[in-house]
Structure 1
Amino acid sequence: MRHLLTVAAGLVVLAASACSAPTPPRSAAGPSATPTGPATLPAPTGPHPVGTTALYLKDTSRPDPWNRDADARELKVTLWYPAKQRDGRRAPYMTPKESELFLKGKRIAGVPDDTLSKTRTNAIKDAEATGRGLPLVVLSPGFTHPMSTLTSLAEDLASRGYVVAGIDHTYESHATTLPAGRVAECLACDSDTDPGFGTGVVAGRAADVSFVLDQLPSTWHGSDRIDRSRIAMAGQSIGGASAMATMVKDSRVRAGIDMDGTAYARIPKNGFTRPFMFLGSPQHVPGGRDTSWDRDWKLLTGWKRWLVLTGAEHQSFTDAPLMAAALGIKPASGVLPAARAIELTRTYVAAFLDQHLKSQRQPFLDKPSSRYPEVRFCPASCGQS
């Protein structure tokens, strides 16, 4: 059954599922305003300059699950990492064609097709990497969304001393650019109401992640800077659900974060001991509209946290709210402001990773903090809202 959609920051917010569907026309999505011009991603908060580069991988051991004409699974992987130089050409956020297809897929009109391609990023394209023994974080985006929609989080983690591998799961977003300028559109979008769809997607993404981990040492010249004993995964929406699905199948991933994604993977009945954090919107309070976290919480037997952000919407954990002004759309009343949503997401994701990949204890992960009053600790101090 297709779930109802609500709106936050000018892009669709999915109320109860890890999968998302096309955004309604802007006239139906909320009040409009005059577009302000290109969006600018907030500066990373860590001490390191950030570099980025793209890899294109082909898994010939399996056919593509969505394209019946493809006998191999092609993936685009974007890497962010600590860089030697601060100056250089900033990496593009999207190509003009990706922006066009994304806006079309989300049914956002009234702005130039290339609007999102003009977004200002912070990472230097193809900069030389620096550092040794760096932890690795895999990121997976929401359904229909390209990896670029998690760029502000990825840049921040890289500035803090992580290598980030963001995976574009081909044919699951409105646009993925592949070698020779080929653009893969969303073939999976026609199947998102099929029975078992979510379970199948997270299983496929888990296979994508394992393949990327296998290939990274031989495909990126900076891979010797990675400490492969310290790997974590985080994702938004169905990308977050895929973090647990990956951890169940691949023991190399030591810790995981699900950002507002309905959980589909089945955790072993005898429990799951690796660290895991749920970070979500009020739909995920205990007994709320999405009860999958209630189910899985009982099976998490290691370090675990269940955090809910007051005022957050489904896309609050992505770059989407930052794009509202550029798209000429006013944020909905009562929604967590874009800058604060990004700050909270970056802060709590980095704290979790610092604690579990760098052994740096983060006391504010243990109890509510006056600095971050929007963050509620569930299930004890987090009632239904």
Structure 2
Amino acid sequence: MRLFEILLALSCFALLIDVLFVQTNARKTGLVLTIGSTVIFLIQMFIEGYRWQMLLIYIMTGLLIIIVSSRHFQMGKNRKSRKLLKYSSASIMVILMAVSVGLSVYMPVFHLPKPDGPEQVGTQTFHLTDLSRDEVLTEDESDKRELMIQIWYPTENKDKTKRGLLFPKDKEMFKKYIQTYSTSLNLPDFMFDYWKYSKTNTYENAEILPSTNPYPLILLSHGMGTSRVLHASQAENLASHGYIVVTIDHTYSTFATIFPDGRVTDYKTKMKTIDERRKIGSMWTQDVQFVMDQIEKLNSGVIKSQFEGKIDLDHVGAMGHSFGGATAFNTTYLDHRIKAGVNMDGSLFEVKNRDVINKPFMFIRSGSFKDWLVDFKKDKNSDNEINNEVNKQLSDELSIMENVTNHQGNVIYVEGTQHFNFTDLQFYSPLIKLTGITGNMDGKRGSDIVNQYVLDFFNTYLKGTGGDLIQGPNGKYPEVKFVESSEL
């Protein structure tokens, strides 16, 4: 809960105690509580802002202010009816207050954790159109493939701008954005309205920090059905350590993507078969390669921007989560411009002719990977194979991992995590743990572990520094387990 939300809840409780137990002749106490509660109420509404989780406390605070004020001006009158009122409603009010506080705690106004690097972080968004590719996920045959990307970079923030919001600032765009989410999840729009208060640690359109050397580049892809928004903290942390990070929205494979003209696209991707996965994977790979082409134009000055000459195109990495992690692997394998890559808990969509990868690569898997590996090997050796094609795909993927461990790479898993511990979703609400899509590990701890190992990996292979964490087990992070090639 935010500061004035806590104070408002406490003042509401104090008003209730006053109504229940304070004598009617204690005029000053009631007057002070009434004035204080009114001031806190107004500050919370106009400074922090209304959110629906606090609605019951808003209503009860207003009612209690009226009751206490009335008692102040009508001492001793209607004492019988007032006594009936306080005993019949007190238990209900306490329950309602607890509900409102619970909703506020478990559906909080969250902010992204502060990056641990020395630099402040700036960000800019770009709208790109690949005129060489038709959009195959829409019915209009004239559509071309459009992407939104967000670039994160070190800055001094000379203009002293305020921290940016995580979600669109424009009210209409924000409304369209949460409508897309609510439709997908079959929930009412107002459930997500409080997201408008969530802040990043980033300064929009700030000038890039001058440097004698250009900054290494990392391309980051989200998972299927999510969006680049869920990887903002990862991008911030890398940028704070001297990287330029480009997060990509793979259009029509996100919950929502907002374009500058106000259009909001939703999820239209279908992947029921392995062949369909490969086709979409090929599209995402082409997305990353197209974005890389545009970054080259930004760096050369063909596209005018503040990034001209600031990007080190000889030291480029790719990373992603889930399907985006598989895309990072595929792009790293195919594109000579990408020197190293990280796959965060993503099963590969393409394993043919991918046996030997001659570049540094790291697979980071969730805590269930070890058990899955044991079970898979048992099923593979049994006579009860349900789907030979799927098993062959997974077996080939393990062979790729084995080759990675033998060629400047790592396969690790993090105990206590699940699939979405590799995204910012773990910050949205403690209730998400109940769904099982995040593990029992604290969200900030999980985020820190992933950030540190990703940073150490890219520092090693893109900057030539670090390497302590990826060498083997580390006492600071006992949750991280290294998988040997013999185990795969």
Task: Say whether the fold is shared (TM-score over 0.5).
Answer: yes
Q: Partner of 2:331: helix, strand, or coil?
A: helix
Change (3 A) 1:106 1:375: farther
Q: Which residue pairs with 1:73 in the alignment?
A: 145
Structure 2 counterpart of 1:161, from 242, 246, 249 = 242
Q: Deviations over 1:294-343 (max 9, x none)?
A: 13113435211011000111000100010014xx6565796111011100
Q: 2:230 aligns with which of 130, 149, 158?
A: 149
Does structure 1 residue 34 correspond to structure 2 residue 138?
no
Deviation track 1:156-184 (CA, whole Å, cap 9, x = no partner) reads 00000000000000110111001211111
Counterpart position of 1:295: 399
Choose which of 256, 266, 272 in structure 1 pairs with 2:341. 256
Greater C-alpha radius of gyration? 2
Counterpart selection for 1:369 from 448, 455, 474:
474
Separation in 2, partners of 1:99, 1:348: 33
| 2:426 is equivalent to residue 321 of structure 1 | yes
Note the C-alpha offset of 1:367. 1.2
Match of 2:164 among 85, 91, 114: 91
The residue correspondences of 1:340-355 to structure 2 (distance < 5 A) are 340-355=445-460
Verify: 1:225 aligned to 2:329, yes or no: no
Contact 2:182 2:189 in 1 (8 A): no
2:126 — aligned with what? 55
SS in 2 for 1:61: strand
Task: Name 1:306's counterpart in structure 2.
Answer: 411
Moved more, 216-225 or 234-243: 216-225
Residues 331, 238 of structure 1: alpha-carbon distance in 2 compared, 3 angstrom cutoff:
same
Offset of residue 363 of structure 1:
1.9
SS at match of 1:181: coil
- Within-5 A mapping of 1:187-202: 187-188=268-269, 191-202=270-281
- Give distance in 1, aligned partners of 2:353 and 2:112: 39
Q: 1:100, 1:339 → 2: CA distance?
A: 28
Q: Are the equivalent residues in 2 in contact too, given 1:38–1:120 (CA < 8 A)?
A: no
In structure 2, what is the Cα distance between the partners aligned to 1:157 and 1:134? Answer: 11
Check the 8 A contact 1:241/1:262 in 2, yes or no. yes
**% identical aligned pairs:** 29
Name the CA shift for 1:46/1:182 in 2 (closer, same or farther; >3 Å). Answer: same
Distance in 2 separating the partners of 1:252 and 1:104: 39
Where does residue 44 of structure 1 map in the other structure? Answer: 115
1:287–1:294 CA contact under 8 A, matched in 2? no
Number of residue pairs aligned between Structure 1 and Structure 2: 348
CA–CA separation in structure 1 for the residues paired with 2:240 and 2:206: 13
Give the corresponding residue for 2:191: 112
TM-score normalized by the length of structure 2: 0.67
In structure 2, do the counterparts of structure 1 residues 268 and 85 end up closer, same or farther at CA, with 3 Å as the change threshold? same
**Counterpart amino acid of 1:68?**
E
Q: Which amino acid aligns with 1:67?
A: T
2:367 counterpart of 1:273:
no
Task: Quote the RMSD (CA, aligned, Å).
Answer: 2.4
Pick the structure with more helix per residue: 2
CA shift at 1:197, angstroms?
2.5
Bigger relative contact order (CA 8 A; separation at least 6): 1
* Structure 2 residue matching 1:187: 3-state secondary structure: coil
Distance 2:249 2:351 in 1: 24
Cα distance change, pair 160–248 in 1 and its aligned pair in 2 (3 A): same
The aligned counterpart of 1:235 is: 320
1:59-99, Cα deviation, whole Å (9 max, x unpaired) = 00010131231431100010000012173132221232323
2:402·2:485 contact (CA, 8 Å) conserved in 1? no
